[in-house]
Amino acid sequence: MATSMSQIKENQATSKSGSWSTVVASLAALGSVIAASSCCLPLLPFLFAAGAAGTSAFVAQLRPYLLVLSVLLIAFGFYKSWRAKQCNCKPSRISTFLLCFSAIVVFVFIFFPQVIANLVADLLAGKS
């Protein structure tokens, strides 16, 4: 009985170190594939472009909901600021500035989306 217990413990120790070596070997293989493909093919820009295209298509469908959510959250921020003044608690200048700045940014993104898109496209293309 004692020999079978020692054999079980040895098998468990071997399987634990074996699983660790399997993980390390898998990570090494994955690293070597990435390193080899980066020499032959600029893989990262393609992956980034595919991910950005998929994400933008998904977020474009959510745009109306996200705009409504941002307006509601800005309104909630103004409500909390007004409520703090009612309780004789003065909000800090930084929080007031950030709230007003966020309201302006949301307003611009809602009412002038094409202007923002053209500005970003010009900046990414290197035009001034």
Evaluate if residue 100 carries a pLDDT over 90: yes
Mean pLDDT across 82-103: 88
Secondary structure letter of residue 1 according to DSSP: -
Determine which of 13-22, 61-70, 97-106 has the lowest per-residue pLDDT on average: 13-22
List of residues 6+ apart from 10 with CB closer than 8 A: none
Q: How far apart are CA 115 and CA 109, in angstroms?
A: 9
Contact 96, 81 (CB under 8 A): yes
DSSP assignment of 20-36 equals HHHHHHHHHHHHHHHHH
User: pLDDT: is 121 or 9 the higher one?
Assistant: 121
What is the per-residue pLDDT across 49-75, written as a single tens digit (0 to 9) for each?
777 777 878 888 888 898 999 999 999
Which burial class, exposed, middle or buried, applies to 52 when counting CB atoms under 10 A from its CB (0-12, 13-18, 19+)? exposed
Mean residue pLDDT across the chain: 79
The yes-or-no verdict on residue 13 having pLDDT over 80 is no
Q: Please say if the pLDDT value at position 82 is more than 70.
A: yes
